[in-house]
A and B are shown apart, each in its own frame.
Chain A
Amino acid sequence: SQTIHQWPATLVQPVGSPLSLECTVEGTSNPNLYWYRQAAGRGLQLLFYSVGIGQISSEVPQNLSASRPQDRQFILSSKKLLLSDSGFYLCAWSVLHAYTFGSGTRLTVV
């Protein structure tokens, strides 16, 4: 069966520090991969999605970037975090339409 792993679960980082969040999927090939962000008490905002290795589409211009170095690995990065980057980051995968979310990373920028 397919599983999705996302880590770390929580992260507290100072303003201006770098960020790297990793997501991996098992049990499927060539999935579509997504990064969403959820601010406190808010909806899900699509940040990036990828339909294949090295293919990244950005939905929101900001100081975040994404990479897909392997078929089932999706990484969210930042060189310098801002206070406004705080939130709940969710990785998801899909084949056809149904999305499955990872357990999320709660990022607090202080």
Chain B
Amino acid sequence: GENVEQHPSTLSVQEGDSAVIKCTYSDSASNYFPWYKQELGKRPQLIIDIRSNVGEKKDQRIAVTLNKTAKHFSLHITETQPEDSAVYFCASSGNTPLVFGKGTRLSVIA
């Protein structure tokens, strides 16, 4: 079955700096790659997703890149703000349910 690895597990950045979180997946049939943000005690919320026919997608300060050949995808957050502090999860799926990475705890230091 699909296996998703996510790095780093924790990340601290200064406010205004960029943050990058990377994930790799194992199933070459996977074609959907979402990213979720989870604040403490809350449900995960979808922040951006990308499908396998696209290499990059951007939404304001957030961007996701996908390299299908290497089976990895990344989340980029620019101009980080304290409210970006949360746990971020990558996930992937093809014809099966989403498989999640173990999460990255991002701390933005003011």
Chain A residues within CB distance 8 Å of chain B: 32, 34, 42-44, 46, 49, 59, 90, 97-104, 106
Contact = CB atoms under 8 A, between A and B. Distances in A.
A98 B34 contact: yes
Interface-centre pick from A43, A46, A98, A102 (highest chain B CB count, 10 A) = A43
Interface of B: 32, 34, 41-46, 49, 51, 89, 93, 97-103
Contacts of B42: 103-104
A101 B43 contact: yes
Contacts of B45: 101
A106 B89 CA distance: 19
B100 A44 contact: yes
A46 B45 CA distance: 17
B100 A90 contact: no
A100 B43 CA distance: 9
B93 A44 contact: no
B97 A90 contact: no
B97 A34 contact: yes
A99 B103 contact: no
A46 B46 contact: no
B44 A101 contact: yes
Contacts of A100: 46
B103 A43 contact: yes
Nearest to A103: B43
Given A43-B101, A43-B103, A44-B89, A97 B49 contact: yes
Contact of A46 (B44, B97, B102): B97
Contacts of B32: 97
